[in-house]
Every structure is written in C-alpha cells, then in structure tokens.
Amino acid sequence: MEVLRPGALTTLQDRGRPGHAHLGVPRSGALDAEALALANRLLGNRPDTAALETTLDGTALRACGPPGSGVVVAVTGAPCPVRVSGRPVAWGEPVRIPAGAELDVGRAASGVRSYVAVRGGFAVRPVLGSRSTDVLSGLGPPLPEAGTLLPVGPAGPDPVRGADALRVPAPPAELVLPLRPGPRADWFSPASLAALWRSPYRVSPESNRIGLRTEAGPRLLRSCGGELPSEGMVLGAVQVPPDGLPVVFLADHPVTGGYPVVGVVPPGPALDAAAQARPGVPVRFTAAGW
C-alpha cells in the first residue's frame, strides 16, 4: 500500500518489543492494545501483526497491485469516517480495497488513535523482533511519508464471520486509572496522597506516546528532600516531576528515570483507555491495594 497522506503522527505498531529494558530499549507497541488486537482478529491475522496507528487526523493509502487484485483492511480504535475512493464504507468491519483504489481514514470523531490493519499485516523489516516504531529511541521503521510503500504480507485464512463479538469501548468521557502503590509512595505527604484520590486532573495537550501528562489537579508535595538516582521504569508507572503533576508512562516510556514513582497503573483496559483520552478529559486516580 502506498501512503498518500501520512497524517499528524502515524506509526507502525504491533505488540512491541518487551524484554529488552536491560539493554536500554523501551517496550513500544500499540497504545490501545485491545483495538489493535480487534483489528487483527477481524482480518484473521495473528494478534501480533503490525498495523498503522494514527493520531487524531487519520491517514490515506492506495492499494497497489495488478488489476483484479486488492487488499482487505479493518479500522478500529477511535471512531472515524472511512471511505474507499470517496465512498463511505464500514468502520470496525473488514473492507476490500481493489488495486488502485484509495482508502481514506478521516479525523477521529472521538478518542485519539485509530488502527488501520491489513490482512497479512504490514511486512516491514522487524527490529529486535518487532515492527513497532519507537518515537523515543528511534528504533523500528521510520514514520511513513507521502509516497512511502508499505509491503503487505501473505494473507492467512479468512476469519470466521460472526464467531467473535465486536466489543468497542467508547473513548472515555472521564479517565479512571487504578493505581497500585509505587516504590516511592513514601516520598509524598499523607495530605498529598489523600488529594490524589479526592481531586481530578485533566489530560494535558503535552501528552504523547511516551506519557500521559496531567494538569489542573492537586500538586503532590514530597515529604522528604533530596533526589533519586535513576532507577528502572515500567509501563504504567506514575512519575511525579518537580511540578508535582503526575505523568503516566505509556508504551514509548524511557526505561529509567530519576523522579519518584508514586504508583503504577496495571496494564489492561485502563491504559488502553488512556491512549484514547483527549486533552481536557478529566483524569481520576483510584487506590488499588494501598
């Protein structure tokens, strides 16, 4: 498929490259893991097959190949208009794109990130076992540009239609993040921790694939002085920089950091929802296991 319009931030993503943090390599991978899995399930792909992750304004592609050929795609994640050569087609369903036809994935009606999967997957060269683009380290395939040709792998068997229920959670009107105690929770005053559960924050416009930044909530005050040496960071770690506003680490987070981690959001539906939370969406932390 040829990229006609890359979009604001479109990257190739699969399940990422976990297990290399000791080498300084972030995990990366799709921010909304369930949306990626659903797109691949609709097409009969393996769950770890690479797809395009778009940000807000979608992308446009042309199917390449000899006359009579084509590809089958599915778009999931943030709901958005989908058109083939100007004709509206289904979102969240397999759609055939004849050779020469153009697929236009429009601006997200709600949420942030849509996933454009193709039967057979985008067969770019893997790096450390993954086809994910890591925007922090620069590992993986480069960002697609207009004119980029994305190879498509061989298609597997057709999926069994109707065998899988289509579960598409709506992008959150309020983001609720369960928080397990972090290794440095004792660095914060009891009053700060009480305010963390009581008062909401908002998603900051400065959020990206590295982390969800917060604003307009209570600033967490430290109960001790000094600074930490850099220590290991995990997906979902909630780090508190000097301004006191929590940052939730997402897929492209650094593998080490020197700010204290007050808690950790466990992987799963809450972090998937964080991938779809637009700037201004309220963020509420809830205690889990404190």
**Domain containing residue 213: CATH number:** 2.40.100.10
What integer pLDDT is reported at residue 172 of this predicted model? 87
pTM summary value: 0.94
Give SS3 for 175.
Answer: strand
Torsions phi, psi of 33, nearest 5?
-65, -35
163 and 50 share one domain: yes
DSSP one-letter string for 22-57: GGT------SSHHHHHHHHHHHT--TT--EEEEESS
Domain count, the chain: 2
Same domain, 72 and 162: yes
30 shares a domain with 135 = yes
Strands 282-287, 175-181: pairing is parallel
Q: Are 286 and 263 in contact (CB under 8 A)?
A: no
Spell out the alpha helix ranges (H) of the chain: 33-43, 190-198, 269-275
Considering the domain architecture, whether residues 32 and 77 belong to the same structural domain is answered as: yes
Do 49 and 81 lie in one domain? The reply is yes
What is the pLDDT, as a whole number, of residue 155? 86
Give the residue from 110, 145, 169 where a domain finishes.
169
Are residues 24 and 119 located together in one domain of the fold? Answer: yes
Question: Domain residues for 74?
Answer: 1-169
Considering the domain architecture, whether residues 41 and 144 belong to the same structural domain is answered as yes
Instruction: Please give the Cα distance from 235 to 251 (Å, whole number).
Output: 6
Type of residue numbered 255? V
3-state SS, residue 287: strand
- CA-wise closest residue to 251 among 58, 61, 39, 35: 35
CB burial of 76-111 (b: ≥16 within 10 Å; e: otherwise) equals bbbbbebebeeeebebbebbebeeebbbbbbebeeb
Per-residue pLDDT in tens (0 to 9) along the chain, 290 residues: 999 999 999 999 999 999 998 888 989 999 999 999 999 999 999 999 999 999 999 999 999 999 999 999 999 999 999 999 999 999 999 999 999 999 999 999 999 999 999 999 999 999 999 999 999 889 999 999 999 999 999 987 776 565 455 566 778 899 999 999 999 999 999 999 999 999 999 999 999 999 999 999 999 999 887 888 999 999 999 999 999 999 999 999 999 999 999 999 999 999 999 999 999 999 999 999 88
Residue with tokens 């980029």: 148
C-alpha 7/C-alpha 287 separation (Å) is 38
* Amino acid identity, position 269: P
Same domain membership, residue 28 and residue 103? yes
Domain boundary among 141, 169, 197: 169
